[in-house]
Chain A
Amino acid sequence: MSIDLGLPELGGLADVPTASDSDAPQKAKDYKSDQEVRWCPGCGDYIVLNTMQSFLPTLGLKPENIVFVSGIGCSSRFPYYMNTYGMHSIHGRAPAIATGLATSRPDLSVWVITGDGDALSIGGNHLIHALRRNVNFKILLFNNRIYGLTKGQYSPTSQEGMRTKSTPMGSLDHPFNPISLALGAEASFVGRALDSDKKGLTEVLTAAAQHRGSAFVEIYQNCPIFNDGAFDVLKDKDEAARRIIPLRPDEPITFGPENEYGIVRSGFAGLETAKVSEVGIDNVVVHDPTVTDPAYAFALSRIGGQELEHTPTGIFRQINRTTYDDAARAQVAQAAEAKPADLQALLRGNDTWTV
């Protein structure tokens, strides 16, 4: 049974102060810190950083109300390069730290920057619990399918059989599908984008920022040193057209150079690809990320596979669900209204005697 706390349905930034008209218009450079960016040349993180710096001015927030919290790993250096508030924390724990921050500070736009090792290996527990609670912060998972900072061991998203420094005979681990995992934790917002797709990434980030609750965004990100070309098949124009399945709300899910393929229902709650000419456009699934049952989005996340034969991108799921932090603040407010904060009365209690 859910408790009615009288919570309004608001956007993710509803309590965050906006820049006033008198403030100078923001530009990407306003969000660049004075620190030299020290990722390897050609790292996908640069593109995500640039996209973020170009995108933030569009939110119209005050820079001081934006916080980036990261864990450990290459991507977790991200906060140092943003001219906002930021905390580079410890391995895997950023969602836990962000939970405390977002719960006590509704006036902040909080972003967690993490990687496949940080979020899915050492920090897996915090990730699923943040998503289940639906705390109002955004989690950007930079997935390069490798441990970069420690120089090239396999990660929880590396393909089976992958030869790395720690798996000379091939990795034995079955990898996580991060989107499936997030949906299994009942995340209220789940999206995916490619580092190289500035437009697509910006669209997902914009929707994530406006979403009230935990927003989980997987970003396929190339590591040019230890796993170069992991996503090349999605970046080659012809291959990308065949493999990437763009998810657009309220539109039939079609893909292919001529949109000749589509997604149709299959078996028990499943989805599969089919030729539109064979099934007819009326049988192609119209994308609806607001479906309450996560089974639909989960079925979408199972299309394709580790070899990236097909890769849906965009917003898999976006539903309204009470956020933990709103509910926690509402309880505090309710308690304060019901009973004044009389410290002396608390200390006295009900059973006293006088000497």
Chain B
Amino acid sequence: MSRETTTSPANATTDVTKLDRVVIRFAGDSGDGMQLTGDRFTSEAAAFGNDLATLPNFPAEIRAPQGTIPGVSSFQVHFADYDILTPGDRPDVLVVMNPAALKSNVADVPHGGILIINTDEFSKRNLTKVGYDANPLEDGSLEPYQVYEVGMSTLTQGALADTGLGKKDAERCKNMFALGLLSWMYHRPTESTERFLAEKFANKPQIAEANLLAFRAGWNYGETTEAFANTYEVAPAKLPQGTYRQITGNNALAYGIVAAGQQSKLPVVLGSYPITPASDILHELSKHKNFNVTTIQAEDEIAGIGAALGAAYGGALGVTSTSGPGVALKSETIGLAVMTELPLLVIDVQRGGPSTGLPTKTEQADLLQAMFGRNGESPVPIVAPCTPGDCFDIALEAVRIALTYRTPVMLLSDGAIANGSEPWLVPDVADLPDLSVEFASEPNAMDGSDEHWPYVRNTDTLAREWAVPGTPGLQHRIGGLEKADNQGHISYDPDNHDRMVRLRQAKIDGIDVPDITVDDPGGNARVLALGWGSSFGPIGAACRRVRNSGMDIAQAHLRHLNPLPANLGRILESYDTVVLPEMNMGQLAMLLRSRYLTDIRSYTKVAGLPFRAAELAEVFTDIINDTEGSGEADHVLTEATE
């Protein structure tokens, strides 16, 4: 991190330090509004023009017991004056609203980091509740940090004394006090938050006023108390030219589906059942019915995909959204979609497993489920976005594959991408791909009769025709039983089954997938860091650290997991070592080893949280040293910046 300090002419007691990037984490009780606080701070950073990335982290319980460690909810935002790739490894600033938040988060703050602590919650009772024998504010344990003690609860109550709001209600606005204080410290624009509060509480003017007062009180507290020696500036980032907005992965995915409906000129039918962390896709799409989008909140996961498949049979763009446990329930219907060869988009926002696992934490351990989690030979194309914004593009790509090849497509997002946000260069609609389809209109029987044979295939794509009910003369029957090649009648013929299994496989194997590209600025790398999904950010940031320390490393990232890009085998061969970090036990590594008979250095962690760039940079450094042999002195990782 670079810094440069000047004394502000306006306020001689406060120095302004220019930073290139900052990581701030807000942590408090589930009921303290930390997600909203983080979200607002993010919007302010976005409005200011910083590049940013966020990491919400919250418990699965709606309200765990108040003041306890399991009830701690946090939101980390990383913002910078250049393009960043991750929400940051460790917070430079930790804002804690209670002892539980301090206890569960302080170990992540590097020594010298800033702690801003709401001291009002540090009662003996609250300290005992989380197992503090002594008050950490008094026992010297926080000496390695710059500590700012602020009585946020009482200051907020004081600021709202004249509003007529009860003490308890007033105290609930303390998150806005914290936001106001941090907004002052980091010179953030405040208009968007003031507007947001007015809109959010439009029907409750008293609450709107109270939140606004608390927000301003926090700002004024920083400005007037002289408790803070420094404020900080992070200049806008030099991103590619264009219009930007902030977007989460789930929203980008929902927009991608809306766009796919528009670009294919098909009605969209989403069949879905609420499940963390995928529900926001259902919520968002249900707001956009004006784009001919129908959302069906079904009675269960199976009905959700059933409705989507039924709609696809009728000529709509059928979509279902879920997480891993939901995919398990949908498996049989995905198999039916494979057999009936109908287009269908299946979204899996992966979370920690197995079983209910860690509903609110991230993981990428559903790859093999997506690949093989069905009975019989049941190949399904798989794509995965690498950033929140990429969810938009990957949705369009998934729909392209589904419509072109008449197949269900698995889209593997994950919790980190789904809830994480970043600035997004708003695409120009004129640049979006044309996804229009042609329904069958004429009989296609190969014997010259006037019948429709449902399994006659396009010779290029091997896709069958999409003959939708209502089309005169094309009446036909499809279903889960094996079908005769071309003609489509039920067939138990052994040779026919063998042929159909191979045809279905060949269709998926033949999907046109773009080549993978490699980023190797020096051109001399002998080690390739490969990844898929949300680990794109940490892998990229780690590669920057490694390169900044004078080493060479190449990076490549897979967005298509099945089929794999045609050039992947050649790329893997051309490096001495391929290292593949995954938030699972090495699932892609297993696929690649069996497919290419080449070794992969699998680095795995299944902690429910994204990789840290520093951790991967060390792993990469060790592997570079291994690869380059013992003849030379080992490289040392010297550079912590990305």
Contact = CB atoms under 8 A, between A and B. Distances in A.
A joins B in a complex: yes
Interface of A: 33, 35, 62-65, 67, 69-70, 72, 79-80, 82-90, 93, 95-105, 107-108, 125-126, 129, 328-329, 331-332, 334-336, 338-341, 343-344, 346-349, 351-355
Contacts of B240: 355
B469 A64 contact: yes
B469 A100 contact: no
A351 B191 CA distance: 12
A352 B43 CA distance: 10
Contacts of A70: 479
Given A64-B474, A103-B269, A97 B309 contact: yes
Given A85-B475, A88-B479, A105-B470, A343 B307 contact: no
Please give me the 9 A-B residue pairs with the lowest Cβ-Cβ distance, nearest first: A88-B479, A96-B306, A100-B310, A100-B307, A97-B310, A335-B289, A100-B311, A96-B303, A101-B310
Contacts of A352: 243-245, 426
A347 B260 CA distance: 13
Given A85-B477, A331-B289, 17 more contacts: A70-B479, A83-B475, A85-B476, A90-B333, A96-B298, A97-B313, A100-B311, A101-B314, A103-B296, A105-B469, A108-B469, A126-B306, A129-B303, A341-B262, A344-B429, A352-B243, A354-B243
B336 interface: yes
Given A107-B470, A331-B289, A98 B332 contact: no
A354 B475 contact: no
Interface residues of B, number: 73
A92 to B, nearest CB: 8
Interface string B288-316: 11111110101110111011111111111
B477 A351 contact: no
A341 B316 CA distance: 17
Contacts of B473: 64
Contacts of B296: 99-100, 103, 328
B306 A103 contact: no
16 contacts: A70-B479, A85-B469, A93-B302, A96-B304, A100-B269, A100-B271, A100-B312, A100-B318, A104-B315, A105-B315, A105-B469, A334-B289, A335-B288, A343-B259, A343-B262, A355-B49
Contacts of B294: 103-104, 328-329, 332
Interface of B: 43, 46-47, 49, 192, 236-246, 255, 258-259, 262, 267, 269, 271, 288-294, 296, 298-300, 302-304, 306-316, 318, 332-333, 335-336, 340, 426-429, 469-481, 489-490
Given A64-B471, A105-B469, A347-B259, A126 B303 contact: yes
Given A125-B300, A339-B290, A346 B255 contact: yes
Nearest to A347: B426
Contacts of A62: 472
Given A63-B475, A79-B477, A348 B243 contact: yes
Contacts of B313: 87, 97, 100-101
B308 A100 contact: yes
A107 B468 CA distance: 12
Contacts of B472: 62, 64
B469 A129 contact: no
B299 A129 contact: yes
Contact of A96 (B43, B307, B335, B489): B307
Interface centre among A67, A329, A339, A351 (most CB of B within 10 A): A351
A354 B241 CA distance: 7
B49 A353 contact: yes
Contact of B307 (A85, A90, A103, A105): A103
A353 B241 contact: no
Interface centre among A69, A84, A343 (most CB of B within 10 A): A343
A333 to B, nearest CB: 9
Contact of A88 (B303, B315, B478): B478
B244 A355 contact: yes
A70 B299 CA distance: 19
A67 B308 CA distance: 17
B246 A351 contact: yes
Contacts of B236: 355
A249 B4 CA distance: 89
A102 B314 CA distance: 9
A107 B314 CA distance: 10
A237 B193 CA distance: 80
A334 B46 CA distance: 34
Contacts of A332: 289-290, 292-294
Contact of A343 (B258, B311, B478): B258
Contact of B239 (A99, A102, A339, A355): A355
B485 to A, nearest CB: 17
A96 B243 contact: no
B307 A351 contact: no
Contacts of A85: 469-470, 475-477
B132 to A, nearest CB: 41
Nearest to B262: A343
A96 B471 contact: no
Interface centre among A72, A85, A103 (most CB of B within 10 A): A85
B428 to A, nearest CB: 8
Contacts of B311: 100-101, 103-104
A298 to B, nearest CB: 22
Contacts of A87: 310, 313, 340, 477-479
